[in-house]
Each structure stands twice: as C-alpha cells, then as structure tokens.
Amino acid sequence: MLNFKKSAADAVFSALSRMGVSPLPPAEELSAMLEYPPDKSMGDLAFPCFKLSRLMRKAPPVIAASLMEELGSVDGFSRIAAAGGYLNFFIEEKAFADAQLDAILTAGEDYGRSHDGDGKTMVIDYSSPNVAKPFHIGHLGTTVIGHSLKSLYAFSGWHCIGINHLGDWGTQFGKLIVAYRNWGSREAVEAGGIDELVALYVRFHKEAEEDPSLNDLARSEFTKLEHHDEENLRLWKWFIQISIAEYEKTYAQLGITFDHYTGESFYTDLMPAQVERLRERGLLKLDDGASIVDLSDYNMPPCLILKRDGSTLYPTRDIAAAVYRKQTYHFDKCIYVTSNQQILHFRQWFKVLELMGYDWYDELVHIPYGTVSINGEKLATRTGNVVLLRDLFRMAIEKVGRIMEEKNPGLENKEEVAEAVGVGAVVFYYLTNSRIKDSDFNLEDALSFEGNTGPYAQYTYARCCSIVEKAGALPAKEDASGYLPCEAENALIKTLSLFPEIISDAIRDSEPMVITRYILDICAGFNRFYHDCPILSAEDGAARAFRIRLTEAAKITLGNAFPLICLKRTPKI
C-alpha cells in the first residue's frame, strides 16, 4: 500500500505544482496526509484538502474538485473522485492484488522489514526483576512490552542491545541475609530455590512487625555488604545465582534472551564520579543532611542523590548506568520500560542528566505501562499476594493439553505445542490492551480460547500452513493469470499490504497492541476468505493458484508478525 500512497502523493504534488500553488508542500508531507476511508464506497485512499484551504485561499470542496480535474487519471488507480473536501482514490484492484502478492512472496521473511534504523543502535532496559523474588504477572508488562519493542526496532534495522537491569542491590538484601541466618538453611534454600527465598523475605516482614529492631539489623547487614563483607557478598551472589536460574526458565518459555544481565550493583563503583560532577557544576544542595538537585524551576520535586548517611539512591544509580551505556554502546536511543508509577522518577533524573551537561539526554526514552492487579487487589511480595507467572503458564499449558488431547490426540510434539499455545494465550491477552492502561487481570479471560485470542491467531496460522503444505509447490504468478479477485480476497490483500505501515505505527507509539490488533485483522480477513472461497478444491485453475498464493502471503505476514509480540509460530495444532 505504501507504493500506492506514494503514487497518489506524487500525483497530488505534481497537480499542485501545475496549479501554481506556493509554497508547495513536499510530497512526503502530502503522503502523510493521506487517510484510509472508513467505507469502501469512499475509495481506498482519501486526500483531505482542508489543510490546503488557508494556503490556496479556497474552500476544501473547491480544492478537491480542482485537483480531480487537474489530475485526470493516475497509473494504478481506476478512478479519482471529489467528495466534499476529500479527493478519493480508487485502486485498480487486479493490478494492486498482483503487485502486492508479488511483493510479499518475493520478500518472504523480510516482508514488512525496513532499513529505517540502519546504522543506529538502541539500548533497551526491560524486565529487570528484583533478585530473590519470583516472576509474577506484575512483571509480565515490562518483560513482553520490552521484548516486543526490541523486536520491532530490530525488524526495522536497528542494532538492539537488551539489558536486564536486575534489582540486585539495596536494603532488601540486608533483610534476606538476616532472615536466612535466623530461620533458613542451605539445605532448605537449595531444595526450595527462589520459593524458599521468598518465604524467608515474607517471614522477615511478619517478624519485623513484632520486633522492629530487625529492620535496624537489616540495614546494618546491607551496610556490611556495601563495604564488601566477605560472608555477606557470598550469600548475596548465591541469592542472585538462584534467582537468575529461575528467571531463565520463564524467559525460555517466552523465547526471550538478553545481551547483558547488569543489575544495580554493577554501577556501584561508577556513581562517585557522577556525584562529583554534580558537585563541580554546583547542582548538589544539602537538605536536612541529604544531597539533592533542586528541580523547582522545572515544576518537579527535588531529585534525591545521596541519603543523609551518604548512601546512594535510584537516581544516582540510573545516572551512572546511563553514562556507562552511552560510553560503552554509543547508542542513538536508550529505552526504559517500567511501570507508569515511575514517570516522575524518570522525568527527574533525565532533567538532572541534562543539567549535568550531557548533550545526549534527549536520546533517553521512558516507556511507561499500566499496573496489574488481581481481582482489584494490588500485588505485593511481602504479603504473599501474587500470582506467579510459572503457575499462570502452567494452568494455560494444561488447558491447551486437554483440548489437544480431545481434538488432535495424534499430534506430534504435543507438549511443545501446548506450551507455545498456552504461554501465547497469556501474552496475547495482555498485549491486546493498550500498554498505558491499568488492568485487572482476569484468569478466566486470559485462559479463554474463544474469540479474539492468541490460540485463535495461532490456529489461523496453522491453517495457512496446512493448506500450503497440501498444495505442494507454490504456483507461479502466471498460473493465476487472468483471475479477478473477489471482495473477500481483495479485502485480505489490502489488510496484508498494511504490514509495513503497522510496524512504523507500533514503533512511533511504542505500542505492541498495534501489532496484536493487526494480527486479529489478518485472522478475521483470512477466515472470511477461507469461508467464502474454496482454495484447494477450486475448480478453476487460475482461482486455485491465486488463492494458494494468497494463503502463502497470509502465512508469511502472520509468521513475521508473531515474534514481534513474543508469539511463537505453530505450523500444526
């Protein structure tokens, strides 16, 4: 569709030039103005003339009529009609269908891919769980949104570096060390893994309610850790090792890998230099013993840099991490995917970085997402009010397994397929909604396989694969020569043609939901085509060839879109 938009925009540009319009809007700007009409009777592309009204000092309907007369005919379009303040372009459907199918089938796995990011580097900080705490559904957002964005940028030519900024530093480790020494044992932790660490953490908070002195002891143990106490360092590294081993099981189910696991502790030795730079620039002020950067001129609360005891805080660590990443990876963009509860935090330290004189501050981007609750209750590890991702995935996989056993008991690799579909159901459910909205996670809805769900999308892909496999060799373009596509076929082709634009829209808005909803549009279009049009049983040879080629194009587009939202391809279900 992009080629047709370019043709329409170039034609309008030439017509305006011949009409003596000045200053003449560039063709790229005119292309961006083109819209997709809500109704087929209004054409395939619509050019709104309202923005030209002030420039040409004419009413939009008059401009549309003048443009229609000046344009005459344009290659690739069957007709052009003025309607009110719009100039509507009707695509010559046969030429469009042939050109679009050729483009998709020729590109294959590269269909939709662009070179917009060639030569550019993007660092993305996402997932970032707190060590010694298991994955629960509150971690699902940063993990799947982050990986989706990384995949989208990579698909558009960017060199992407994924960083898991583990929460591996802070007083919570003092608490865990105290809990382990008081109530834990090596045997119990080795047997229970991260679950035992969580149990110790929860017990600490219960015990501390009765004995507040435990909090002072925890702070003392963390201070010893900061000063490289040998025993505390050993325990701390052990806790991290146990945690990462658990996390990687979940990442494997999601098909996610990271380039680096560099948690907060990695930047500990890099923070003093940044604190000194703040001092040299006169940005640090004392406030009740703490060191702050005053941001009142920017309508923000002060940014805390050092506590009264001289220890660092999150902004200090984030500043040091950003400087390290810029110096190490030379990024063009650095993205942080965290809860919308941290919006102020990022605004503050981004501004501090700017005041420090780092001229690349505007390359930092915070992508917030809404929080998740369970039946209206906020998640909290310390109270045990969590739904673990592994349990959620297990329930989904078991449900898929039961359905497969009923409908396709002879399927090969049933366990592998059940995992792909079950995990995909949860991820797809989450990414069907806008990332910025808070959501109340409903387990019954998430595990549903009816309607617009992940299993529906994966089943549609499997149907495409089955048809293409049964067809044998892909028919040549010449085998479909002379066939005129019907309405359902043309509608599906137009939906498939939007994929490159959909990718751009998802990146522009940092919104994986754009991809998820587009996948559902393809599925709806394909299943309508499948219902209305016999494919392998078509009596007309040209129709059969065309429909097999169209099925392959749908398979390619779905197959390219799935990994962009952590959804696995399922050739057979």
CATH number, domain 126-267+312-341+365-383: 3.40.50.620
- Yes or no: say if 180 and 470 are a contact pair by the CB < 8 Å rule: no
Token pair 């169209």 is found at 550
**pTM score:** 0.90
pLDDT over threshold 60, residue 314: yes
What value does the mean pLDDT take over residues 151-173?
95
Residue type, 405: E
Catalytic-residue membership of 147: no
- Yes or no: say if 418 and 561 are a contact pair by the CB < 8 Å rule: no
Given the residues 94, 120, 133, 150, select the one marked as catalytic.
133
- Quote the pLDDT of residue 384: 52
Cα 310 to Cα 291: distance, rounded to the nearest angstrom: 8
- Quote the pLDDT of residue 154: 98
Cα 149 to Cα 546: distance, rounded to the nearest angstrom: 35
- Quote the pLDDT of residue 329: 98
Given the residues 6, 40, 58, 139, select the one marked as catalytic.
139
Same fold, 2-91 and 126-267+312-341+365-383: no
- Please name the residues in contact with 362: beta carbons below 8 A apart, sequence gap of 6 or more: 354
pLDDT over threshold 90, residue 24: no
Token pair 């799947």 is found at 144
Mean pLDDT of the chain: 92
- Yes or no: say if 494 and 89 are a contact pair by the CB < 8 Å rule: no
- Yes or no: say if 431 and 516 are a contact pair by the CB < 8 Å rule: yes
- Quote the pLDDT of residue 138: 83
| CATH among 3.40.50.150, 3.30.1360.70, 3.40.50.2020, 1.10.3720.10 for 2-91 | 3.30.1360.70
Given the residues 5, 94, 136, 224, select the one marked as catalytic.
136
- Quote the pLDDT of residue 117: 96
- Quote the pLDDT of residue 377: 61
- Quote the pLDDT of residue 137: 84
| Main-chain dihedrals φ then ψ at residue 393, nearest 5 degrees | -65, -40
Cα 365 to Cα 178: distance, rounded to the nearest angstrom: 38
Catalytic-residue membership of 136: yes
Q: Which alpha helices (DSSP H) does 131-193 contain, by range?
A: 140-155, 171-183, 186-192
- Yes or no: say if 379 and 138 are a contact pair by the CB < 8 Å rule: yes
In this predicted model, what pLDDT tens digit does every residue of 474-516 receive, in sequence order? 999 999 988 999 999 999 999 999 999 999 999 999 999 999 9
Catalytic-residue membership of 133: yes
- Please name the residues in contact with 229: beta carbons below 8 A apart, sequence gap of 6 or more: none
What value does the mean pLDDT take over residues 256-280?
94
- Quote the pLDDT of residue 441: 74
What value does the mean pLDDT take over residues 34-58?
90
CATH number, domain 390-565: 1.10.730.10
What value does the mean pLDDT take over residues 195-220?
94
Picking from 80, 76, 99, 101, the residue whose alpha carbon sits closest to that of residue 89 is 80
In this predicted model, what pLDDT tens digit does every residue of 71-127 receive, in sequence order? 988 888 999 999 989 999 999 888 899 999 999 999 999 999 999 999 999 999 999
pLDDT over threshold 70, residue 522: yes
Which own/partner contact pairs does 294-300 have at CB distance under 8 Å and 24+ positions apart? Answer: 295/348, 295/351, 295/352, 298/351, 300/344, 300/347, 300/348, 300/351
- Quote the pLDDT of residue 544: 97
What value does the mean pLDDT take over residues 543-562?
98
Cα 323 to Cα 267: distance, rounded to the nearest angstrom: 10
The residues spanned by each domain of the chain are: 2-91, 126-267+312-341+365-383, 390-565
- Quote the pLDDT of residue 376: 63
Picking from 334, 266, 292, 438, the residue whose alpha carbon sits closest to that of residue 121 is 334
